[in-house]
């Protein structure tokens, strides 16, 4: 036996070595291939000239031709007669860069004012290499001039110092969540949902999260209401993409957003407590932006040109119907669902809507949204189309399809044959946006209104939705949220697979990353009374909405959710896989215990908490904001007299620094600003993440600009127009705080993807 064991163990290294040699040979072949490619092209394989490609950078080698695509859409006649050449030429041009101003409305107006009065004015008369720069223009159909498009390329942005400043402004404000790079047509579906603050909203296929951010903004349209009655549940089937979604959504710091991880076609039906009874949660608004073939994104995703084939649409059609059906099942009667794709193909568009309307037996109706976005140019939906295989074979009716094709082509892919039924559907109310009409991408959108319960949800023929008992026996995929059904890889949209980013450092499990629990504070939790007393919270503060992410040990961070999301969490913990929810409002500060409270305020949740805080508030002026955000640790004497006197009356510890607008001073910001701070022995410090710090400095007239070498002509690290004092210290301090914050999170036992606020020892302790 000993000899047998020895011989078997001796063989293992040889097998291992042979595998290593095999891998090594593969690496040598790849290197040889790269050298050959470099010899042919004069540059390494994969090194593309981004400047030459404008906004479609990185795809300059791809030939923008696809004869099958042209033949298909010529035959379908979705483009008006005489416009097809213009349509194709526009499809070959790079997509204009489009930005949307995000955030709450008062701050959005300040950012818009800065853009229009400073950056856009500087750009409009600028010439680069003898070429006059076209100034950015607002999208005519987007409300309040909060969305703009420009043809500026990366190459042009790099050539002019003024444009470089504009570019840095865009990057910085994007990172702080105040501006989003979002394709123009992608902004349409949330606008057509007509969101109100009390609406319960489901975003079925939410990643990467641009539309989700729009939904959150609409909920918070009134900045004076910290907890709107409505909420957004954002779902995505891909676990990794859910973290990208969290990153996008968390920039708005809302307590009304929850990110979940499910297959949209079988997303669980949720329960809530309604007047002491368990009831089914139906949504007032649903965004159903389904996976699609993405041929409307050819201007942005250039590789679609060579990958496009009709089989993509045929594969996705069934999944799109299943997701849409699951959506209308969970839509409240009287509710509104927007179905959208970035595809021009009627198999993914009108065919899905027609199948949905036919299944509903009158419960659904296509809404006329023609007047909802004045200025938007679009083509009405078509009522006649054909189906083509990837080999180019056409079928006008299901009866023509041979039996051998029945697994690829389904009856729902064809328009209804009954003329009366087709007319009643009013498919012309669908909206198809063509790229050449307004220099955009291609898009399809349809607005559905639910008039009655779906036929299969009417027990015993009644008009009520199925009771809770009727949904208890759901399929395993619905009842077991830890095992989300994953669609066939062939059904994944090419345009939906480009935005994945690495997930945070969490332990990977079989079906995704293991999330920490969501634990609400109990009525008698001993950590809360000191917080209540220290900040003198008002009696109506909803402390039952405060949660933490650990069952055991010290609570490091406290988060808040709205009352309605708390209801959802408590009643569905076993039914859904929650990735993230809530906004961080307090962080543990061990040194602060000696001052009366172990928790300091977190900048992320400052606007959620401030309506309830009645103590430890210092009112500051514009000049005070400049001092606090440009100097690392200013003495109290550097503040103006009013703020200085208020600060002297406060004990050491966490504070709120509040700026209130002066209607008489139109040059100052006309919106309130709340900053987290720390009152030290003789000084005051603001604790604001770096990008937000730059944002607030711009609001008060101080611009921080870094050139390509990170220095000014005089050798300093930063350039500030209006104030240069302690700018280098600002940058170094902010970077240090970010680094220490990352280390704290990675080394801690409790984790949350929302935990990105800088945390440092100097922040947590008394400041001299």
Cβ–Cβ under 8 Å, residues 147 and 98? yes
Instruction: With a cut of 90, say whether residue 676 has pLDDT above it.
Output: yes
What pLDDT was estimated at residue 767? 33
Both 279 and 328 in one domain: the answer is: yes
Instruction: With a cut of 70, say whether residue 324 has pLDDT above it.
Output: yes
- Establish whether 473 is an annotated binding residue: no
**3-class DSSP state for residue 619?**
strand
Rounded mean pLDDT, 397-402: 94
Q: Of the residues 181, 197, 227, which one is the last residue of a structural domain? A: 181
Percent of the chain with pLDDT over 70: 74
Residue 488 lies in a domain: no
Q: Of the residues 704, 726, 757, which one is the last residue of a structural domain? A: 704
Write the CB contacts of 760 (distance below 8 Å, at least 6 apart in sequence): 736, 737, 740, 741
For the chain, what is the domain count? 3
Nearest residue to 159 (alpha-carbon basis) of 127, 200, 183:
127
The torsion angle over the Cα atoms of residues 679, 684, 686 and 687, rounded to 10 degrees, is: -50
* 537, β-bridge pairs: 613
Residue 734 lies in a domain: no
Q: Give CA separation, 126 vs 114, 154, 162, 280, in Å.
A: 18, 16, 9, 59
Instruction: With a cut of 60, say whether residue 747 has pLDDT above it.
Output: no
Write the CB contacts of 302 (distance below 8 Å, at least 6 apart in sequence): 56, 59, 62, 64
Instruction: With a cut of 60, say whether residue 20 has pLDDT above it.
Output: no
Both 105 and 233 in one domain: the answer is: no
Per the listing, tokens 């929650």 go with 578
Rounded mean pLDDT, 596-611: 91
* 580, β-bridge pairs: 259
Residue 527 lies in a domain: no
What pLDDT was estimated at residue 159? 66
Instruction: With a cut of 90, say whether residue 755 has pLDDT above it.
Output: no
Residue 317: its H or E element: helix 310-329
Q: Is 242 a catalytic residue?
A: no
- Establish whether 555 is an annotated binding residue: no
Set 242, 256, 292, 342: catalytic member: 342
- Dihedral sign of CA atoms 405, 406, 410, 414 in order: positive
Nearest residue to 590 (alpha-carbon basis) of 620, 561, 564, 556:
556
What pLDDT was estimated at residue 669? 86
- Establish whether 727 is an annotated binding residue: no
Residue 394 lies in a domain: yes
Cβ-based neighbour number of residue 25 at 10 Å: 10
Domain, as residue range, for 297: 184-456
Rounded mean pLDDT, 2-22: 41
What pLDDT was estimated at residue 595? 76
The Cα diameter of the chain in Å comes to 95
Both 128 and 265 in one domain: the answer is: no
Q: Give CA separation, 436 vs 78, 87, 129, 202, 379, in Å.
A: 13, 5, 28, 32, 12
What pLDDT was estimated at residue 458? 73
Greater confidence (574 vs 125) lies with: 574
Both 111 and 197 in one domain: the answer is: no
Confidence label for 515 from pLDDT (cuts 50, 70 and 90): confident
For the chain, the average pLDDT equals 79
| pLDDT tens digits, one per residue of 568-591 | 999 998 889 999 999 999 999 877
**3-class DSSP state for residue 599?**
strand
- Establish whether 205 is an annotated binding residue: yes
Instruction: With a cut of 70, say whether residue 70 has pLDDT above it.
Output: yes
Greater confidence (175 vs 448) lies with: 448
Residue 329 lies in a domain: yes
Write the CB contacts of 562 (distance below 8 Å, at least 6 apart in sequence): 227, 228, 229, 231, 255, 256, 545
Per-range mean pLDDT, top range of 87-101, 429-443, 703-717 = 429-443
**3-class DSSP state for residue 185?**
helix
Cβ–Cβ under 8 Å, residues 613 and 658? no
Helix 690-699 to helix 161-175 angle, to the nearest 10 degrees? Answer: 120
Rounded mean pLDDT, 197-202: 95
What pLDDT was estimated at residue 96? 87
- Establish whether 723 is an annotated binding residue: no
Residue 296 lies in a domain: yes
Cβ–Cβ under 8 Å, residues 705 and 165? yes
Greater confidence (187 vs 742) lies with: 187
| pLDDT tens digits, one per residue of 264-316 | 999 999 999 988 899 999 999 999 999 999 999 999 999 999 999 999 999 99
- Establish whether 349 is an annotated binding residue: no
What pLDDT was estimated at residue 512? 57
Q: State in Å, rounded, how far the first CA of the chain is from the last one.
A: 73
Greater confidence (57 vs 261) lies with: 261
Confidence label for 707 from pLDDT (cuts 50, 70 and 90): low
Query: 618-627 burial by CB neighbour count: b if 16+ within 10 A, else e?
Result: bebbbebbbb
Both 110 and 154 in one domain: the answer is: yes
Instruction: With a cut of 60, say whether residue 475 has pLDDT above it.
Output: no
Per the listing, tokens 């394989």 go with 45
- Establish whether 236 is an annotated binding residue: yes
- Establish whether 8 is an annotated binding residue: no
CA of residue 282 relative to chain centroid, distance? 23
- Establish whether 206 is an annotated binding residue: yes
Both 320 and 435 in one domain: the answer is: yes
Residue 28 lies in a domain: no
Q: Pairing state of beta strands 617-620 and 653-659?
A: parallel
Both 374 and 230 in one domain: the answer is: yes
What pLDDT was estimated at residue 534? 94
Both 166 and 293 in one domain: the answer is: no
What pLDDT was estimated at residue 511? 53
Residue 251 lies in a domain: yes
Confidence label for 715 from pLDDT (cuts 50, 70 and 90): very low
Nearest residue to 297 (alpha-carbon basis) of 56, 46, 53, 51:
56
Tokens of 190: 């949330």
Look up the pTM and report it: 0.80
What pLDDT was estimated at residue 153? 65
d(CA 528, CA 532): 6
d(CA 468, CA 465): 9
- Establish whether 605 is an annotated binding residue: no
What pLDDT was estimated at residue 439? 93
Both 251 and 394 in one domain: the answer is: yes
d(CA 754, CA 251): 9
């Amino acid at each position: 036996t000993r000899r047998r064991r020895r011989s078997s163990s001796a063989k293992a290294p040889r097998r291992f070595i042979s595998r290593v040699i095999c891998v090594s040979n593969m690496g040598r072949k790849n290197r040889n291939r790269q050298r050959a490619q470099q010899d042919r092209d004069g540059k390494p394989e994969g090194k593309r000239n981004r400047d030459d490609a404008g906004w479609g950078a990185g795809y300059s080698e791809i030939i923008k031709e696809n004869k099958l695509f042209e033949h298909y859409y010529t035959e379908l006649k979705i483009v008006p007669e005489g416009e097809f050449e213009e349509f194709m030429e526009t499809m070959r041009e790079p997509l204009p860069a489009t930005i949307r101003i995000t955030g709450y409305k008062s701050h959005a107006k300040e950012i818009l004012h800065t853009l229009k009065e400073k950056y856009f004015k500087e750009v409009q008369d600028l010439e680069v290499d003898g070429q006059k720069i076209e100034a950015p223009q607002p999208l005519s159909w987007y409300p309040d001039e909060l969305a703009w498009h420009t043809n500026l390329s990366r190459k042009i942005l790099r050539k002019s110092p003024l444009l470089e400043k504009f570019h840095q402004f865009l990057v910085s404000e994007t990172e702080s969540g105040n501006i989003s790079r979002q394709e123009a047509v992608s902004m349409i579906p949330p606008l057509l949902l007509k969101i109100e603050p009390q609406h319960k909203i489901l975003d079925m296929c939410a990643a990467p999260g641009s539309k989700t951010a729009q939904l959150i903004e609409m909920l918070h349209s009134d900045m004076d209401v910290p907890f709107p009655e409505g909420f957004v549940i954002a779902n995505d089937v891909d676990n990794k993409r859910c973290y990208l979604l969290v990153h996008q959504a968390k920039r708005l710091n809302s307590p009304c957003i929850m990110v979940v991880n499910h297959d949209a076609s079988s997303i669980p039906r949720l329960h809530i407590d309604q007047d002491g009874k368990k009831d089914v949660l139906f949504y007032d608004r649903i965004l159903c932006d389904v996976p699609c073939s993405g041929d409307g994104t050819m201007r942005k995703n250039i590789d679609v040109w060579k990958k496009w084939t009709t089989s993509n649409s045929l594969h996705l059609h069934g999944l799109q119907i299943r997701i849409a059906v699951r959506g209308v099942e969970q839509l409240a009667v009287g509710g509104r669902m927007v179905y959208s794709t970035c595809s021009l193909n009627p198999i993914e568009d009108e065919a899905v809507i027609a199948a949905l309307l036919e299944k509903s037996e009158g419960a659904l109706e296509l809404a006329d949204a023609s007047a909802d976005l004045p200025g938007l140019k679009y083509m009405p939906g078509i009522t006649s189309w054909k189906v083509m295989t990837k080999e180019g074979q056409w079928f006008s009716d299901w009866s023509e399809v041979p039996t051998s094709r029945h697994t690829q082509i389904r009856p729902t892919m064809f328009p209804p044959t009954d003329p009366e039924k087709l007319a009643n559907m009013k498919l012309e109310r669908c909206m198809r946006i063509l790229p050449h009409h307004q220099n955009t991408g291609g898009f399809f959108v349809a607005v559905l209104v639910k008039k009655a319960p779906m036929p299969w949800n009417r027990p015993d023929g009644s008009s009520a939705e199925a009771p809770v008992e009727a949904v208890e026996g759901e399929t395993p995929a619905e009842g077991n949220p830890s095992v989300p059904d994953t669609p066939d890889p062939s059904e994944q949209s090419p345009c939906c697979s480009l935005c994945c980013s690495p997930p945070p450092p969490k332990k990977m499990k079989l079906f995704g990353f293991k999330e920490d629990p969501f634990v609400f504070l109990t009525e008698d939790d001993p950590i809360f009374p000191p917080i209540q007393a220290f900040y003198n919270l008002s009696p109506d503060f909803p402390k039952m909405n405060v949660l933490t992410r650990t069952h055991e040990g010290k609570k490091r961070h406290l988060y808040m959710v709205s009352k309605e999301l708390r209801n959802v969490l408590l009643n569905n913990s076993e039914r859904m896989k929650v990735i993230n929810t809530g906004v961080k409002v307090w962080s543990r500060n061990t040194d602060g215990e000696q001052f009366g409270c172990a928790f300091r305020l977190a900048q992320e949740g400052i606007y959620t908490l401030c309506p309830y805080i009645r103590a430890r508030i210092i009112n500051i002026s514009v000049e005070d904001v400049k001092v606090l955000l440009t100097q690392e640790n200013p003495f109290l004497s550097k503040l103006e007299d009013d703020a200085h006197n208020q600060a002297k009356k406060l004990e050491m510890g966490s504070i709120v620094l509040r700026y209130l607008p002066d209607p008489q001073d139109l040059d100052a910001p006309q919106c309130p600003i709340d900053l987290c701070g720390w009152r030290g022995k003789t000084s005051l410090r603001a604790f604001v993440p770096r990008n937000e710090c730059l944002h607030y400095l711009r609001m008060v007239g101080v611009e921080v600009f870094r050139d390509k070498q990170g220095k000014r002509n005089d050798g300093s690290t930063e350039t500030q127009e209006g104030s240069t004092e302690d700018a280098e210290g600002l940058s170094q301090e902010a970077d240090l705080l970010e680094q220490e914050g990352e280390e704290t999170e990675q080394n801690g036992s409790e984790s949350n993807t929302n935990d990105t606020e800088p945390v440092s020892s100097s922040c947590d302790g008394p400041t001299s």
